Amino acid sequence: MTTPAVPPPEPSGAVLALEQAPQAPPAPRTRVRLPSPAALIPAVTRKNRLRITREGKWYLGITTSVGLAAMNTGNNLLYLLFGVLLSLVIVSGVLSEVSLWGLSVVRRLPTRAQVGRYHQVEIEVYNSKKKIPSYAIEIEDLRAGQPADKRCFFLKISPASAQVAAYRRTPQRRGLDHHVGFRVATRFPFGLFEKSREIESTGELLIYPAVDPIRLGREDNGKHKHGAGAVAHGGGDELAGVRPEREGDDPRDIYWRKSTIQEHRVLRERARETSPEVRLRLDLQPISGAEALQQFERQIRELASRAVAHVKRGDRVLLLTSRGQRILADRSVGLDPLLRFLALVDPSEPP
């Protein structure tokens, strides 16, 4: 006798839903690469400029000679050599254009600079091309009214990456330096031609006047020469006066010689030690001529040197001009307001 086959139990609705539901593919992992700050700045570029190098002039001379010889002789080998030489010129133009394409440049200036002392300027270049690197990139920082004397060279800038370089510069005159842009050039691949383009990028750097080391003597003290320090009540060694005792006063300050009556005690009031005030004067009369201008610059340098020396000693410096301007400098305020005024002052400007 055979027993009938028992069918397996049917799965529940929840099991059927799990078996019939399609499995979702795993989410792909994407790597997000943040661009450099230079890539976030829109670059305003001008037209390309092409300059033939010394090697390029020799190369073009040889190419022209081979072409003339091929036309005169009708030699096929000379024609083939002439075509190869011309193809290298075309390849040079295409590769140099690809190297310059997609570059963004940003400049990082220091917070302050000074005449006669070098400062460092950083140049960052970002290559926005995704697969093609840039080779042999030379960047020149352009300033308004001044020759471009500093350059940064980048051998290779990889795709979607940035390179940073820096140059040193020693300013020779005070005032405001206006940076107007960059000149980006390359001689890649053969060095026959230099292709360049200009990128507009403005920036300003304040150049403080030069400061010479000065050793101040007793005759340079503000109390004895230029004015007196402010008198105030405090905890110094000098006696400022006496006053009746009040509740909460320190009993150590009781002046017993004057306190003859128990109910009327007298306290000594001490003077607060204050720094002397040094007054420096600057004449801003209109000047003309190179000699007068040099003398004015020497005066600016001397005033800046004296102000720095007095503030380092703890004095309070007040700069007075013939136009009624007053600039204060001390340890609490700092020297930046005074040095900034001396850096930007121009006697030729109207008051």
The pLDDT tens digits for 152-166 are 999 999 999 999 999
Q: In angstroms, rounded to a whole number, what is the distance separating the alpha carbons of residues 316 and 312?
A: 10
**What pLDDT does residue 350 have?**
64
**Using one digit for the tens of pLDDT, what is the confidence trace for 93-144?**
999 999 999 999 999 999 889 999 999 999 999 999 999 999 999 999 999 8
Most confident range (mean pLDDT) of 25-29, 168-172, 231-235 is 168-172
Segment among 244-248, 279-283, 305-309 with least mean pLDDT: 244-248
**Nearest to residue 68, comparing CAs of 55, 81, 52?**
81
Segment among 98-102, 223-227, 297-301, 338-342 with least mean pLDDT: 223-227
What integer is the mean pLDDT of 306-331? 89
Q: Which DSSP state fits 325?
A: -
Share of the chain above pLDDT 70, in %: 71
For the record, the structure tokens of 87 come out as 């193809």
**What pLDDT does residue 270 have?**
67
pLDDT at residue 328 tops 50: yes
**What pLDDT does residue 103 have?**
93
**What pLDDT does residue 224 have?**
38
**Nearest to residue 311, comparing CAs of 285, 288, 336, 294?**
336
Segment among 93-97, 133-137, 171-175, 276-280 with least mean pLDDT: 276-280
Model confidence at 60, pLDDT cuts 50, 70, 90, reads very high
Burial of 182 (0-12, 13-18, 19+ CB in 10 A): buried
pLDDT at residue 11 tops 80: no
**What pLDDT does residue 190 have?**
92
Whether the pTM exceeds 0.75: the reply is: no
**What pLDDT does residue 346 have?**
85
Residue whose structure tokens are 């254009």:
97
**What pLDDT does residue 147 have?**
78
